[in-house]
Structure 1
Amino acid sequence: MYTQFFIPMQPPTTTHNAKQLHAYMKGGQPHAVLHDSPELKQTRAKLHAHLAPHAPQQPIPAGRPVRLLVKWCFPAEGRKSGSWRTTKPDTDNLEKALKDEMTRLHFWADDAQVCSEIVEKFWSDPCGVFVRVEEL
């Protein structure tokens, strides 16, 4: 069983690495907490809004393996459409926010179920994000 869809959008370039560090003293000891930056919050909201219409009625049940295929298609802007994008953001960083939002929208019970991932990034017209979720 699988579902796939294309989201026409400018893919976000802010990744989960865009966290803000808040350092403080407590009881004479230094402490630090990471918080999502405003840009990361905006990216998460954008992904959530675009993914929500594609959310399944029921998540893939816990314990069942999932393959996730994602093609990040960034605006070609003069480059050959379909050519590989070899610049930042890194694919692993792009995936984190996407998988977090897909978990919140109940595509699966837990993103630990994703045991096979194929992630690619291209320069493309049209731009957007292609997603395929497959129960293995």
Structure 2
Amino acid sequence: MTTEFFMPMKKVPTVTHQTKKVRVVNGKPMFYESADLKAARSKLMAHLGQHVPDIKYTGPVRLITKWCFPITGNHKDGEYKYTKPDTDNLQKLLKDCMTACGYWIDDALVVSEITEKFWAELPGIYIRIEEI
């Protein structure tokens, strides 16, 4: 089974899972999501919800993602983006959202990842999931 799609987005979410906040309540730390993180999660869930496979993946998969960011400065379409955010930080929130949407039984099934960032005339996120 293979799932493949592109989610066009004028503004690709750049907030990362690491932006959780902490506050102390009755002497105990309580973690919560910032407004930006909640908005990014909501945006990803809305886009991902349109492409959920009919059957959840239950075995090992390869996840290929291409993050396409709006062109700024002197960059060209298809040029690698070598500035923040880091790919590993982008992937964490994306995989958590894919798990919540029902793409697979657990994101631990992702045994191989190919992640790239580009400047692009058409911003968005390309996703391909392949059974291994």
* Shorter-chain TM-score range: over 0.9
Residue-by-residue CA offset, 1:92-112 (whole Å, 9 max, x unaligned): 110011101100111110000
- Looking at structure 2, the residues matched to 51 and 39 of structure 1 have their Cα atoms a distance apart, in angstroms, of 18
TM-score by length of 1: 0.91
Residue-by-residue CA offset, 1:51-78 (whole Å, 9 max, x unaligned): 11100112012xx101000000000134
- Looking at structure 1, the residues matched to 3 and 38 of structure 2 have their Cα atoms a distance apart, in angstroms, of 26
Any idea what SS the aligned residue of 1:17 has? helix
| Unmatched runs of 5 consecutive residues or more in structure 2 | none
- Looking at structure 2, the residues matched to 22 and 32 of structure 1 have their Cα atoms a distance apart, in angstroms, of 6
| Unmatched runs of 5 consecutive residues or more in structure 1 | none
TM-score by length of 2: 0.94
- Looking at structure 2, the residues matched to 135 and 77 of structure 1 have their Cα atoms a distance apart, in angstroms, of 36
Identical counterparts, % of pairs: 49
Q: Partner letter of residue 39 of structure 1?
A: D
1:103 is matched with which residue: 74, 93, 99?
A: 99
Correspondence 1:53 to 2:50: yes
How many residues matched?
130
Q: Partner letter of residue 21 of structure 2?
A: Q
Give the superposed CA RMSD: 1.0
Larger Rg: 1
**1:33 CA displacement:** 2.1
Counterpart of 2:6 in structure 1 is: 6
Correspondence 1:74 to 2:69: yes
Worse-superposed segment, 101-110 or 78-87? 78-87
